[in-house]
Amino acid sequence: MLERFSRGVIRLRWLIIPLTLILVAAAGSGVKNLRFDSDYRIFFSEENPQLLAFDALQNTYTKNDNVLFVLAPKGGDVFTGELLQAVVELTEESWQIPYSIRVDSLTNYQHTQAEEDDLIVADLVEDPLSLDQTALDRIRNIALNEPRLKNRTVSPQGDVTGVNVTIQLPGKRPDAEVPEVAAFARQIAEKLRNAHPDIEIHLTGMSMMNNAFPEASIKDMSTLIPGMFLVVILVLGTLLRSLWATVGTVLVIFLSIITAMGLTGWLGIGLSGPTSAAPTIILTMAVADSVHILITFLTALRRQGLNRKEALLESLRINMQPIFLTSLTTAIGFLSMNFGDVPPFRDLGNIVAMGVVAAFILSVTFLPALISLLPVKVSFSRTRTGMAMERLGDFVVQRRNGLLWGMSALALGLVACIPLNELNDEFVKYFSEEVEFRRATDFSSERLTGIYQIEYSIESGESNGVAKPDFLKDVDRFADWYRQQPEVIHVNTLTDTFKRLNRSMHGDDPAYYRLPEARDLAAQYLLLYEMSLPYGLDLNNQINVDKSATRFTATLQNISTNEVLALADRAKAWLQANLPPVMQAEGSSPTIMFAHIGKRNIQSMLTGATIALVLISGILIIALRSIKIGLISLIPNLVPMGMAFGFWGIVEGEVGLALSVVTGMTLGIVVDDSVHFLSKYLRARRENGGLSSAEAVRYAFANVGTALWVTSLVLVAGFFVLTFSSFKLNSGMGLLAGITISFALIADFLLLPPLLMKLED
């Protein structure tokens, strides 16, 4: 049947080539439907419990997507007439940012102050250019002593300040709204920079982060894909030493990518950080199939002196089964990413799986049809790599015992280092330092305020209960506890507002900077204050509609997500030990969401990878028609992953979301090498009159060594190209996958053969 198929392909080549192009064009036209997702929430499945908790909190209070302008005057002092004037103007202009619903700055901060029986509520800074030094000093004094401002809107040294714009997206045009906000904010920042060259201005916040995702994706796709094509052409050109063979491969790759990305468009999958890596990965995957077919073909031309048609038929005969198997296992590996909890990585797995299937079909139909028409010539009889492979085979056979023990020791040693890895998912670090958002955010967190937060909605248990003195005291104790934690920079709590109001209602007497002691008094203060606030600066972001609960926010230093979770656990324990049951609350925030995501995904991906492993091993046992060999193959299939994670533990030591998918993803790829090696090995054992295991190893090295070496090199190069991604997610994933595949080649060359010889003799 295989024979008939192969002959059919060659005979119908004039039909296959145009038909392929038409089909690819049909699938590929879906590219026009591709869109970029710009919302960090896409990292969470709809049923993600941390997302649900955070959405509940955002629905109760104001949403907190935001744009934060960070202003650092070169003179090092925020409290000058000129700088404050810039802040006034920026505050005013920020109202123009699309979908802005609130602007908070140093100048529009609603300062309360007593004047006899008058309560004066006014912008902290008005008309700054007219202020003298005494007035400026007074403002500095108020700002740096106001817990709501210090470490949030102004740095404790008074050298950096921020203007925070709260954004509420209508969500009607998801991929257009965020870029609209970002473009407008940048325009304002640029105008401000031109007017005030002596102020350093940065833009950060959730909206800027959301915007950074598509921007970085587009940048990645326009640099990494061409880069990878270049690498592939160079490697193939050098190793295949055939122009037309290289052209054929590049065409197969190109058509595979078009097909997969087009289908992605038709399926309505959005592009995001992780999925933007898909073309590069498909590029890498698609190389292998063509290389196996072409290397056998070229060898047949060179060594056996067959003509083009015969050589192609021979190549298809030898390679059809292993290529089918490796494509199947690779696709299964990528499809196992669907077990994960993170939609963009599921999408990535599915897109690459489509690309892998497309590459397989193209490699066994389009490629031979095309090659049979091209004037492929053989320039010399034997390649240097071919000879080197035969020598390597001899070496492995001779030194089998030493290699077996040496490799086992190395593998065990590296596997033992796996626990050196620590879980961390700081989402800001998903972007490399080359991304503007990352630099702005680093600047902001170093100089102004942290970006990691834990938020609570604390319930009083009854309508209008936020005014209950006991409740306020308890919230205040919680704030005190949080402020004592070394990781905490700022605590935003309603109790500070109550204390300030109480003081202002008693003629600004500092002795009254404490919580009101009666419920009706507190409620009436709150009413008075609520009634005196101007447009956009209401209390909705701190108190719910029913006035039964209040929002409480702790801002943290740049700590690992493990430390964030540890702090949240400590806070929970404190709440349980000290506050009544009704006030118990779960901390939630994007920080908390991302802190859980790596762990959740690793757990679910392990299930996925295990199922994939069982499936793949079953397929190998059936395809290789040997339970024993199928089971032996488990070792070179699993060991490289263990070794890679151990190696990672030594050199990096941090794992997170990105690396949680590497296991499933590389499993399918790693298997390829052992499939090719074992299928050749078994062919030698079974076909050529039953060679000994040592002879069969030599045969395998001679026949598939070069192909394995070339494909692995391309794969490693492909994944290393990803390390140049603007997404640390993709670069970490690429690096670890590259390391895993390198270890896989080492294991297949140096561990598997000695093992076969040991167990088969």
Helices (H), 579-589: none
Least Å distance, CB 101 to other proteins, is 6
* 3-state DSSP assignment of residue 110: strand
Residue span binding other proteins (CB under 8 A) among the ranges 120-128, 264-272, 388-396, 747-755: 120-128
Which residue number, 527 or 573, has a Cβ lying nearer to other proteins?
527
Bridge pairing between strands 488-492 and 549-556: antiparallel
Least Å distance, CB 118 to other proteins, is 4
Least Å distance, CB 533 to other proteins, is 5
171 binds other proteins (CB under 8 A): no
Which residue number, 96 or 381, has a Cβ lying nearer to other proteins?
96
Which residue number, 123 or 200, has a Cβ lying nearer to other proteins?
123
CA distance 554 to 478: 11
Which segments within 168-250 are labelled E, that is strand? 199-204
Which of residues 33, 60, 338, 558 is near other proteins by CB under 8 A?
A: 60
What is the footprint of other proteins within residues 658-697 (CB under 8 A)? none
Least Å distance, CB 595 to other proteins, is 26
Which residue number, 505 or 714, has a Cβ lying nearer to other proteins?
505
Which of residues 47, 118, 132, 761 is near other proteins by CB under 8 A?
A: 118
Query: CB–CB of 67/167 below 8 Å?
Result: yes
Name the helix (H) or strand (E) containing 753.
helix 752-760
Which of residues 47, 117, 132, 761 is near other proteins by CB under 8 A?
A: 117
Within 10 angstroms of residue 246's Cβ, the number of other Cβ atoms is 21
Which residue number, 26 or 533, has a Cβ lying nearer to other proteins?
533
* 3-state DSSP assignment of residue 172: coil
CA distance 297 to 371: 10
CA distance 44 to 342: 5
State CA 408 to chain mean position distance: 33
Query: CB–CB of 36/270 below 8 Å?
Result: yes
Nearest to 202 by CA among 40, 70, 365, 51: 70
CA distance 142 to 79: 11
Kindly write out the interface string for residues 485-524 of this chain, putting x where it contacts other proteins by CB under 8 A and - elsewhere: --------------------x------------xxxxxxx
Which residue number, 521 or 691, has a Cβ lying nearer to other proteins?
521
CA distance 74 to 196: 10
CA distance 755 to 588: 51
CA distance 15 to 28: 20
- The pair of structure tokens assigned to 418 is 């796996």
Which of residues 52, 89, 98, 404 is near other proteins by CB under 8 A?
A: 98
What is the footprint of other proteins within residues 459-488 (CB under 8 A)? 463-464, 467
Nearest to 723 by CA among 704, 711, 737, 744: 737
Give the single-character DSSP code of 588: B
**152: amino acid identity, one letter:** R
47 binds other proteins (CB under 8 A): no
CA distance 611 to 606: 9
182 binds other proteins (CB under 8 A): no
Which residue number, 237 or 536, has a Cβ lying nearer to other proteins?
536
Residue span binding other proteins (CB under 8 A) among the ranges 115-123, 241-249, 294-302, 551-559: 115-123
Which residue number, 230 or 533, has a Cβ lying nearer to other proteins?
533
Instruction: List Cβ neighbours of 478 (8 Å cut-off, separation of 6 or more).
Output: 458, 493, 552, 571, 574, 575, 578, 579
127 binds other proteins (CB under 8 A): no
**Tokens 């290397």, residue?**
295
525 binds other proteins (CB under 8 A): yes
Which residue number, 157 or 532, has a Cβ lying nearer to other proteins?
532
Name the helix (H) or strand (E) containing 455.
strand 452-459
59 binds other proteins (CB under 8 A): yes
538 binds other proteins (CB under 8 A): yes
582 binds other proteins (CB under 8 A): no
Which residue number, 60 or 626, has a Cβ lying nearer to other proteins?
60
120 binds other proteins (CB under 8 A): yes
CA distance 181 to 183: 6
Which of residues 190, 470, 509, 546 is near other proteins by CB under 8 A?
A: 546
3-state helix, strand, coil in the chain (%, to 5): 70, 10, 20
Which residue number, 534 or 690, has a Cβ lying nearer to other proteins?
534
Least Å distance, CB 100 to other proteins, is 7
Residue span binding other proteins (CB under 8 A) among the ranges 6-14, 116-124, 474-482, 690-698: 116-124
Nearest to 336 by CA among 325, 348, 327: 348
Least Å distance, CB 657 to other proteins, is 30
27 binds other proteins (CB under 8 A): no
Rg (CA), the chain: 32
Least Å distance, CB 524 to other proteins, is 4
236 binds other proteins (CB under 8 A): no
Residue span binding other proteins (CB under 8 A) among the ranges 98-106, 308-316, 422-430, 730-738: 98-106
Which residue number, 47 or 117, has a Cβ lying nearer to other proteins?
117
- List strands edge to edge, sheet with 100-104: 100-104, 161-167, 65-73, 199-204
Helices (H), 581-689: 590-624, 627-651, 657-660, 662-686
Q: What sign for the dihedral angle of Cα 652, 658, 661, 667?
A: negative
Residue span binding other proteins (CB under 8 A) among the ranges 109-117, 194-202, 569-577, 607-615: 109-117
Least Å distance, CB 169 to other proteins, is 10
62 binds other proteins (CB under 8 A): yes
Kindly write out the interface string for residues 323-342 of this chain, putting x where it contacts other proteins by CB under 8 A and - elsewhere: --------------------
Backbone angles phi, psi at 233, to 5 degrees: -65, -40
Annotate 308-321 with DSSP letters as a single string: HHHHHHHHHHHHHH
Residue span binding other proteins (CB under 8 A) among the ranges 58-66, 229-237, 305-313, 688-696: 58-66
Which residue number, 180 or 695, has a Cβ lying nearer to other proteins?
180
Q: What sign for the dihedral angle of Cα 530, 536, 537, 538?
A: positive
Which residue number, 57 or 568, has a Cβ lying nearer to other proteins?
57
142 binds other proteins (CB under 8 A): no
Least Å distance, CB 603 to other proteins, is 32
- The pair of structure tokens assigned to 720 is 């290393």
Size of the site for other proteins (CB under 8 A): 51
Residue span binding other proteins (CB under 8 A) among the ranges 75-83, 281-289, 304-312, 541-549: 541-549
530 binds other proteins (CB under 8 A): yes
Bridge pairing between strands 65-73 and 422-423: unpaired
Least Å distance, CB 59 to other proteins, is 5
Which of residues 237, 536, 557, 570 is near other proteins by CB under 8 A?
A: 536
Backbone angles phi, psi at 726, to 5 degrees: -70, -15
Which residues of the shown chain bind other proteins in the complex (CB under 8 A)? 59-60, 62, 95-101, 110, 115, 117-123, 168, 170, 463-464, 467, 505, 518-525, 527-528, 530-540, 543-547
